[in-house]
């Protein structure tokens, strides 16, 4: 069932004004994060909060499978390249998204996938907003509690096998794993992130031109994030390939070499860096309302 229909039924909004206003306001597309679903209670809270600030926005939430349990599974196991293709085809099939720009919001890994869809499919996106998205990859798996030996054991096994083909083609998190201290293996074996970040010798200029078409890129980092390691990856910060020390945005290869168009966007004053002083994906309603009022639809 389409998310808009679910919302209009559960929140009492009329479908007719939504369709009329979508001709004037930019629609909003969402891509959820790992372990979530396109229509979970958490996502519905987001939709409701955004509609409380602007009830006329048309909303679509990307799904890999309409069955929520399978959609959740697809956020953990699968091939990201295939899922990006599915998402692009899905967006192309929605009448309300045709012949108009729309805004795109990605939560956690959904932010990388949204960016990949823009780069690869040339989506006509006005504003891309990503929350805690590891654009520069994760150099470690989410931290385990000190007493959680099973989690630590699982992470250790996965890290040892992360570059194997069967892992790269089936474990979602492995496909945006990027250890600067093991950079050559990353370039050789990463099936997703090394490509969409344009880090290999042969550059895909289509990616650059497509991302440069954005009018605004909003990068939100969680200051207490322990899920995304390093948390600064949400701002495209990098790590030194010898020492592992943090490299700030304007000193990274992403910026200096303009690998995907970030320097162009920055020089045009089209990138904003925001911080939420909380843990990963702890987004308050007030922050969502401010995002809606400032960036969405108009």
The Cα 231–Cα 215 span in angstroms is: 25
The Cα 105–Cα 28 span in angstroms is: 7
Find out whether 272 and 235 touch, Cβ atoms under 8 Å. Answer: no
Listed in sequence order, the residues at least 6 apart from 259 whose beta carbon sits closer than 8 Å to its beta carbon are 197, 198, 199, 203, 208, 253
Cβ atoms within 10 Å, residue 205: 9
Residues with a catalytic annotation lie at 108, 225, 280
Strands (E), 226-277: 238-239, 246-247, 271-276
The Cα 150–Cα 198 span in angstroms is: 35
Residues for the chain: how many in total? 298
């Amino acid at each position: 069932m389409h998310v808009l229909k679910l919302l209009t039924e559960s929140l009492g909004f009329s479908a007719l004004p939504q369709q009329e206003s979508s001709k004037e306001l930019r629609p909003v597309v969402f891509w959820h994060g790992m372990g979530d679903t396109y229509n979970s209670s958490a996502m519905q809270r987001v939709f409701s909060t955004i509609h409380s600030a602007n009830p006329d926005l048309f909303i679509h939430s990307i799904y890999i499978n309409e069955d929520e349990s399978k959609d959740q599974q697809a956020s953990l196991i699968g091939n990201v390249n295939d899922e990006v293709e599915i998402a692009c085809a899905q967006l192309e099939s929605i009448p309300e998204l045709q012949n108009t720009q729309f805004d795109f919001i990605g939560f956690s890994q959904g932010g990388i996938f949204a960016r990949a869809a823009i780069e690869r499919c040339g989506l006509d996106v006005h504003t891309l907003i990503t929350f805690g998205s590891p654009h520069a990859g994760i150099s470690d798996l989410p931290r385990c509690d000190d007493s959680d030996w099973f989690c630590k054991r699982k992470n250790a096994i996965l890290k040892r096998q992360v570059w194997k083909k069967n892992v790269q083609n089936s474990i979602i998190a492995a496909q945006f794993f990027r250890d600067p201290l093991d950079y050559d293996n990353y370039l050789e074996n990463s099936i997703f992130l090394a490509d969409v970040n344009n880090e290999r010798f042969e550059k895909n200029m289509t990616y650059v031109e497509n991302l440069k078409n954005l009018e605004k890129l909003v990068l939100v980092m969680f200051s207490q994030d322990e899920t995304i390691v390093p948390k600064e990856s949400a701002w495209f910060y990098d790590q030194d390939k010898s020492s592992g020390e943090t490299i700030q945005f304007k000193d990274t290869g992403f910026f200096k070499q303009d690998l995907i168009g970030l320097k162009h966007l920055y020089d045009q004053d089209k990138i904003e860096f925001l911080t939420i002083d909380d843990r990963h994906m702890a987004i308050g309603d007030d922050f969502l309302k401010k995002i809606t009022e400032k960036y969405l639809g108009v």
